[in-house]
Structure 1
Amino acid sequence: MNSGLGEQQLIKGRVLTRHALHKQGVLVLQYYIQTESGPIAVELFNQEHVCFVQSSDEARLFSCAGLTGIRPSPVALKSFNQAPVSALYCGDGRLMRTLIRAAKDLDIELFESDVKAEHRFLIERFIALDVEFYGQFVERSAENSFSSSSSHSLPQSQPLFVASRARLSTSTIKLNAISLDFECSFSGELYSVGLYGQTLEGGVYQKVIMVGQPEETEQDYIEWVSNEYELIIRLIEWFQEYDPDIIIGWSVVTFDLALLYRRAKYHGIALNIGRDNQPLGWKVEDKYRPETLSLPGRVVLDGIDWLKAAFYQFERYSLEFVSQALLDEGKAIHNVDNRMGEIKELFFNDKPALAHYNLTDCRLVWDIFEKTHLFDFAIERAKLTGLELGRVGASVAAFNNLYLPHLHRAGYVAPSKPVSDGIESPGGYVMDSVPGLYRHILVLDFKSLYPSIIRTFLIDPKGLVEGLNHGFSQQPSKTVPGFLGAQFSREKPILPMLIKNLSEQREQAKQNHDAPLSQAIKIIMNSLYGVLGSKGCVFHDARLASSITMRGHEIMKQTRRWIEAEGYEVIYGDTDSTFVWLGNDFEQAEVQQTGKALAQKVNQFWVDKLNSEFQLESFLELEFETHFEQFFMPTLRGSVEGSKKRYVGTKLNRLGQPELIFKGMEQVRSDWSPLARRVQYELYERLFQQQDVESYLRETVDKLTRGELNKELVFAKQLRRDLEEYTAKSAPHLKAARKLCDATGDPQYGKRGARVEYVMTLNGAEPVQHTTASMDYNYYLSRQLEPIAEPILSILKTTFSQVTTNQMSLI
């Protein structure tokens, strides 16, 4: 990268952020990339926004005033109804919005008008994260510089590269990250900011910028500033010095960066913490969310959002709870529940301790990212989908990124809206269960069932359009039948090809023990059905989604028939899992052998059936997944019918020790009391070990009524919105929150995100901090213990009331 100014050359890097700008009257696409030699701003001039219109609608559309500057051009593409289309080009975003409004007023379809220019440029070239740009370095002109209203702004440090073309590349560039966290007062005034990361040499980087007079301390990472204003100024300078590619944190967008933005605005400081001295901003005023954040050249990853994106599940997503669960370590503070009060106390009386607390929060977030491989997961997801690095969710956008370039090469544009005729596809197949207590239950799972169905039966949006045309032309040999009248063309389907490529990449990732890549691919593959079944996707068509789910129903039913023909009983089935009872007299080695042989035999049945009936290659793969040594399928409450999606079983873990597995039971639900969950666990453990259940229940009820278990009666729930925004006011946690606000006079207890801890008393739900009445033990007996005990007691031919009559009469 040390070539002279103006010399043509190639640069390689990883795309951090994407922007569409208007300079000198033209559309400029701007990409910040990280290269081996450092960050570079890349710009492509004279670009255009693009959408499509049916050629037959073009003249009527252009009869509308105000569209001067839109350039139509015929292209070798057509719509899904086989009509030729024209491309519409313009270099002005406002003009493109005028075009969209005009088409809507005239009821004219525009195709792909929602695809942003900065994204389209990359996806049409199959560029996701890693890129090569060809062009030259230039001097920054006045138009290329970014002015600031702040006298504290710093000079530019990144070179500008003007590119003429781009192509997909590969890269192993390591991005530089920092974990950021603010501490503040109740009113939001900043006390300190913690910064934690790794140096290029692999060591630890740590800094706390603290408001206050310098103190003698062994903590050499503390940098003192005189007030909040100076803290913000110093942080802006720090961003220019350290220059991170990635910022991570816990609610880092909705809390930390939003707070920083508001405090900088209060002081009139231009918050220029982006690259090239560009400001942090929000695309929608006062909507401080990840999708509205604008921070050129830097990526922001929120720990909560990315754990959820990687399908980690926790009862609560507070930093304290997650760090205890994953790291066996929590916040460096005495009273987590009253941390705001303690933070204030530390700020005024022990600032070194506050700095330690602040930095510990940063480190915990960093360690969570490392432990769960979230950095690698985010990178691999961006490489696979073409989504911006740092964008969570967006499964529809990911589908479009993968599908559109192939669709265009096949001669089509995407539909303007989903097909909807009122017929919706059914969900996954759930079999009626056979309730009871069993030994030796096998669980046979179809590996990635829905992606396998898509690949096997050639289910594809383009394939549906062409398949129906073949059907109308009386050429059934060229199609594969679906459901609801669907026919899928056998000729070059796109979606099955994408599934094939993803499946092969996942197998390679498994062989390479690359867990983040394997997980990213799995999530993307499994999202493809959901996208086709979503009305938020323009490719949605009930015939597509139903041809997946209804085929899944057919596969599950046929698999059951084959298994039962082998002499075994199927007691339950759910979406892609079949539960097989072998009988009670099997040895462990025999069980394993039977499970594998049964799965292999069913797979061969499918190979033969699909080849003979459809002339299709089967990619359905049934696997022997789990052996439950003991298994309990409960009945529906108050019924003799078997339940669905609820069961308990014991299986051997990796150490050969039996462990209890709960599915859909109260044990795994956070809206049940700790007492109910503990008792449920103990009851099933005793049932499976053939220990006395009834005496244990009587003893527990006795302790409950004597008040010995009060600490286990506390419910906890987080407010998802501010208290006054709830329309239904009768929920117990809302009543408790309202009582606490009234009792303390502190409205913070009713704010979104507040954790409400309450118990049920004779006066109803009351907050733990302000209980005025006695415990309602009858509530805990009838609404907590009885529902979880009855399924087990029904097996033992008794009832909760019969077991606990004496104890309940004492209440």
Structure 2
Amino acid sequence: MTSTELKGFILTRHWRDAPAGTEIEYWLATDAGPVKVVLTSQTSVAFVATRHRAAVEAHLMAMPGLQMRELELKTFHQEPVTGVYAKHFRQLGRLMRALQAQGIPLLEADVRPHDRYLMERFITAGVLVEGGRADRSTIVDCKLKPAPEFRPVLKVVSLDIETSQHEALYSIALDGTQDRVVFMLGEPPPEPSEQSSGSGGPMDFSLIYCPTRKAMIEKLNDWFERNDPDVIIGWNAIQFDLRVLQKTANECGTQLLLGRERRPIEWRTHPGKQGYLFAPMPGRVIIDGIDALKAAVWSFPSFSLETVSQTLLGEGKAIGDEYDKMAEIERRYQEDKPALALYNIRDCELVLRIFDKAKLLQFVMERAQTTGLQADHFGGSIAAFSHHYLPRMHRQGYVAPNVGEIASKAYPGGYVMDSKPGFYDSVVVLDYKSLYPSIIRTFLVDPVGFIEGSNAGDATMLVKGPQGTVFSREKHCLPEIVTTLWRARDEAKRTKNEPLSQALKLLMNSFAGVLGAADCRFFNPKLVSAITLRGHEMMKLTREFVEDRDYEVIYGDTDSIFIWLRRTHTNENAHAVATTLVRDINAWWTNSLREEHGLQNLLEIEFDTHYKKFFMPTIRGSDVGSKKRYAGLSVDANGKEEMVYRGLEMARSDWTPLARQFQEGLLSRIFHDEPYKEFVTDYAEALLAGKMDDLLIYRKRLRHRLDAYLVNVPPQVRAARIADDHNSRVNRPRQYQNGGWIRYVMTRSGPEPMEIRQSRIDYEHYLTRQLQPIADAILQPIGESFMALTTSQRGLF
């Protein structure tokens, strides 16, 4: 029968080679529930330069099902191409490898069928389903069209497990649906009253005891089939929770069947990250909270669930450090399983609330709709670029080159001006709105446009770029893509759809980087340089414009310019000056681009910040101004003040809280014209008196395995080795062999981890290595020094 027309949102996508041809499977979330779409007998396509047709035909006899067809398309080298059509997608891979041995490139053979089907129809995530044969919740051989506005209500479950220190599974918690449950290994307590022992009161979830781990996995499978969620969320959900569940199922001789239709996880390893796993499953999206926060550009000192929940929600669930936590989990499992169940489901609750607070599910959905990537695929800037670019490029008559056609080569990055260090009153910052996307739009920077321009005969139809590059005024793709995204972002901001606005901004801003990525098929140093060097030129011209008006530019970074107004201004006057500069600079760009290049100005500078007080430090140990490091006291149009730190110790997690708190206090006093000398001396005295010991902890990351550090062993590695030697002696698992984060203090005996600190603290280290460098960077421009102010305190030590 024919299906009725319905709208859906793509959750997962998959392809397989079946006897009748390649099949594509999409699982959709719809208002009527989940729907599986199956498209059968799909033909896959790749392209080869027509001059190699005979070489390709020589392989066709051994590959039945391949056909060739002349096309009105050409390569970037202006060669006509022939289409190679395959009944099975894997045939293209075999043909590609055979031709590689002959030095013949088969183009676009790596574009997977389920991706090509969507991109060639300009579908990202929202789809309109038309026609086809419907059988219950499956629709076969229908047509899909874009439905970019459709957003379903997704059914979400938060999953978390608890284990022993050796990853033996104790419990599984599931929250987010009405069927809130914890599956617990073991027998139920003999008395009902023990259900709430130590657990803080009655439970509002089901606690189901399972005699074996195999029974736990089977009940978990049944729960997923019964509740049928669209999305699984968690914290380190794939690398820990699902991995342990899969390992447990394997050890028990049973299957973990969490996908729709009771299908297994299709585990894959990351080709570039050893031990990093992907866990795709049919019909369900897995969203890890850590990955989602990072993709949405959230920043925290640590992405542990405890740190993030304390920061966003003002509460957590910690039951001690890593060792106390494992001991307490073990105690609860042995003595008070209801208390362990409460702790387990508490993690699920916190993850649900973090997702709600940070609007992570909305961001993930908008990102999928914006990029064309599956909702749980993070990163993927190159894939997102290709999803938008390839179909538009085909309609301009071109096929894409293969990765590696142009050798990797360095190119200029963003323009960073030399800074003028010191303290300033009345500094305003102007910022170019989405600088690189606006350069692409204005100067028509584009891969196809570059090829067309390089082969054009009529110079009047070209836009000249840096380093002799030229771009077609008529034939291009990327400027239109950026313009569409730009307008969508303006609409998202107008309607206050922050997740969509953020997703669009991140996608647009990734395009220049994609053109400069060697593993992108469109990589070209000339292309990305045409963007970055145009940015250099714009910043230099903007500086000249500002200084012609008798203001002084003291710093500039990629798209922002810092302007000293040369004398103290009231907040109102400073804002007025900035507004005038913005108006005049934008008008100047409009006139000069029209008159000199015949281009429409799509560049826009905006007023960003007024700093009532501003500090630009020097590079430590020199008189040269630093870059990407400054602090200021900002004031908005309503007079609200805020301390701002960029790149300083205050904003860096690898300095101690002692240093960050000191820097903040000293700068705040100077910016507010308050006495600061006594603050410095009192702070040093309190340090030496042992009153600030809780602020002396370093927290640093171990980026490699411990045994990889052979020479120049840094303090954090020495501390980690001491910690793991101690862990081995007391029969605890070693924590740092494969990297991670270590907390330690500097003592008279060197760095010692918090797990086993024995020696006296080296206060001299903190005085000279933490406080003095920070103080002198701030004090020396005003004629003071840390040594002079703290001589008496050092004598006490």
TM-score of the alignment, normalized to the shorter chain, above 0.5 = yes
Q: Does 1:311 align with 2:327?
A: no
Deviates more, 1:756-765 or 1:319-328: 756-765
SS in 1 for 2:526: helix
1:546-557 to 2 correspondences below 5 Å = 546-557=529-540
Cα contact 1:532–1:539 (8 A) shared by 2 = yes
Residues 324-333 or 446-455, more deviating: 324-333
Shift of 1:8: 5.2
User: Which moved further from structure 2: 698-707 or 118-127?
Assistant: 698-707
- Residue matched to 2:444: 458
User: 1:212 is matched with which residue?
Assistant: 186
| Contact 2:5–2:129 (Cα < 8 Å) also in 1 | yes
- Confirm whether residue 167 of structure 1 aligns to residue 145 of structure 2: yes
- Please tell me whether the aligned partners of residues 332 and 356 of structure 1 are also in contact (alpha carbons under 8 angstroms): no
Q: Distance in 2 between matches of 1:79 and 1:62?
A: 20
Secondary structure in 2 matching 1:178? strand
1:581 aligned onto 2:560: no
Larger deviation: 230-239 or 717-726? Answer: 717-726
SS of the equivalent of 1:43 reads: strand
Match of 2:39 in 1: 44
Which of the residues 761, 764, 778 maps onto 1:792?
Answer: 778
- 1:733 pairs, out of 716, 730, 740, with 716
Q: Distance in 2 between matches of 1:302 and 1:270?
A: 23
Q: Could you tell me whether the CA contact under 8 Å between 1:291 and 1:391 is conserved in 2?
A: no
Structure 2 residue corresponding to 1:189, chosen from 150, 168, 172: 168
Q: Render the CA deviation track for 1:132-172: whole Å, top value 9, x for unaligned.
A: 33344466xxxxxxxxxxxxxxxxxx633211432212423
Number of positions where the alignment pairs a residue of Structure 1 with one of Structure 2 = 780
1:327-342 mapped onto 2 (5 Å cutoff): 327-331=313-317, 333-335=319-321, 338-342=324-328
1:778 aligns with 2:764: yes
CA distance change for structure 1 residues 195 and 718 in 2, over 3 Å: closer, same or farther?
A: farther
Give the deviation of 1:318 after TM superposition: 0.3
**1:22 equivalent among 9, 12, 17:** 17
For residue 154 of structure 1, what is the aligned residue in structure 2?
Answer: none
- Deviation, structure 1 residue 423: 5.1
1:40-439 to structure 2, matched below 5 A, reads: 40-64=35-59, 66-137=62-133, 159-169=137-147, 170-198=149-177, 206-215=180-189, 216=192, 217=195, 218-221=202-205, 222-284=207-269, 292-331=278-317, 333-335=319-321, 338-418=324-404, 420=406, 424-439=410-425
Alpha-carbon contact 2:727-2:734 (below 8 Å) kept: no
Match of 2:682 in 1: 699
Q: Aligned pair in 2 of structure 1 residues 754, 488: CA closer, same or farther (>3 Å)?
A: closer
Aligned positions of 1:317-716 closer than 5 A: 317-331=303-317, 333-335=319-321, 338-418=324-404, 420=406, 424-470=410-456, 473=457, 475-652=458-635, 656-716=639-699
- Give the C-alpha shift of residue 23 in structure 1: 2.7
Alignment match, 1:202: none
Shift of 1:433: 1.1
Work out whether residues 439 and 531 of structure 2, in 8 Å CA contact, stay in contact via their aligned partners in 1: yes
CA displacement at 1:744 relative to structure 2: 2.6
> Unpaired segments of 5 or more residues in structure 1?
1-5, 140-157, 200-204
Deviates more, 1:58-67 or 1:81-90: 58-67
Percent of pairs with identical residues: 41
Distance 1:742 1:641 in 2: 44
Unpaired runs of 5+ in structure 2? 196-201
Post-superposition offset of 1:742: 0.9
Residues 316-325 or 725-734, more deviating = 725-734
State the shift of 1:780 in Å: 1.4
Asked whether the equivalents of residues 49 and 92 of structure 1 are also in contact (C-alpha less than 8 Å), the reply is yes
| Separation of aligned partners in 2, 1:291 and 1:510 | 36
Bigger shift: residues 100-109 or 714-723: 714-723
- Separation of aligned partners in 1, 2:761 and 2:637: 43
In structure 2, the CA distance between the partners of 1:125 and 1:289, relative to structure 1 (3 Å rule), is: farther
Computed over aligned residues only, the root mean square deviation of the Cα atoms, in angstroms, reads 2.1
Q: Which amino acid aligns with 1:87?
A: G
Check whether the contact 1:736–1:765 (CA below 8 A) recurs between aligned residues.
Answer: yes
SS at match of 2:760: coil
Q: Does 1:756 align with 2:742?
A: yes
SS in structure 1 opposite 2:546?
A: helix
Whether the 8 Å contact between 1:419 and 1:541 is mirrored in structure 2 is: no
Residue type at the aligned position of 1:603 = N
Contact 2:93 2:110 in 1 (8 A): no
Question: Distance in 1 between the 2:689 and 2:253 partners?
Answer: 61
- After alignment, is 60-69 or 619-628 more displaced? 60-69
Distance in 1 of aligned mates of 2:741 and 2:27: 40
Amino acid at match of 1:565: D
Residue 728 of structure 1 deviates from its aligned partner by: 5.6
Structure 2 residue identity aligned to 1:234: K
Task: For 1:477 and 1:346, locate their aligned partners in 2 and report how far apart those are by CA, in whole Å.
Answer: 78
Q: Render the CA deviation track for 1:587-635: whole Å, top value 9, x for unaligned.
A: 2211111111111110000000100000001111111110001001111
Aligned AA for 1:239? Answer: F
Q: SS of the counterpart of 1:281?
A: coil
Q: 1:723 to 1:593 in 2, by over 3 A?
A: same
Match of 2:198 in 1: none
Contact residue 165 and residue 733 of structure 2 kept, 8 A? no
1:354 partner amino acid = L
Shift in Å, 1:316 = 0.6
Aligned to 1:13: 8
Alignment check: 8 A CA contact 1:418 1:539 kept: no
Amino acid corresponding to residue 706 of structure 1 in structure 2: A
How far apart in 2 are the matches of 1:22 and 1:638?
A: 64
SS in 1 for 2:182: strand
Distance 2:341 2:786 in 1: 54
- Structure 1 CA distance for aligned equivalents of residues 631 and 72 of structure 2: 58
Describe the SS at the equivalent of 2:96: helix
CA separation of 1:285/1:709 partners in 2, compared to 1, >3 Å: closer, same or farther? closer
> Secondary structure in 1 aligned to 2:76?
coil
Quote the offset at 1:658 in angstroms.
2.4
Query: Is the contact made by 1:61 and 1:106 (CA closer than 8 Å) also made in structure 2?
Result: no
Give the secondary-structure state (helix, strand or coil) at the position aligned to 1:95: helix
Pair 1:7–1:364, CA change in 2 (3 A): same
Q: Which amino acid aligns with 1:574?
A: D
Question: Compared with structure 1, are the counterparts of its residues 633 and 8 closer, same or farther at alpha carbon in structure 2 (3 Å cutoff)?
Answer: closer
Comparing 777-786 and 642-651, the one that deviates more: 777-786
Say whether the 8 Å CA contact 1:532–1:545 is kept in structure 2. Answer: yes
Q: Could you tell me the TM-score, scaled by structure 2's length? A: 0.94
3-state DSSP class of the match of 1:363?
A: helix
Instruction: State the Cα deviation string for residues 648-701 of structure 1 (Å, max 9, x = none).
Output: 100136984422111110111111111111111111112112233333222222
* Structure 1, 416-425 or 551-560: larger mean CA deviation: 416-425
| Helix, strand or coil at the partner of 2:165 | coil
Q: Is the 8 A contact 1:428 1:552 kept in 2?
A: yes
Cα pair 1:424 1:546 within 8 Å, conserved: no
CA separation in 2, counterparts of 1:724 and 1:288? 16
Using the TM superposition, give the Cα deviation of residue 14 of structure 1 relative to its aligned residue in structure 2, in angstroms. 1.4
Q: Does structure 1 residue 35 correspond to structure 2 residue 69?
A: no
> What is the one-letter code of the residue matched to 2:476?
P
Quick check: 1:129–1:383 contact (8 Å CA) kept in 2?
yes
1:225 positional shift:
2.1
Q: Is residue 452–residue 475 contact of structure 2 (8 Å, CA) maintained in 1?
A: no
The corresponding residue for 2:199 is: none
How far did 1:773 drift?
A: 2.5
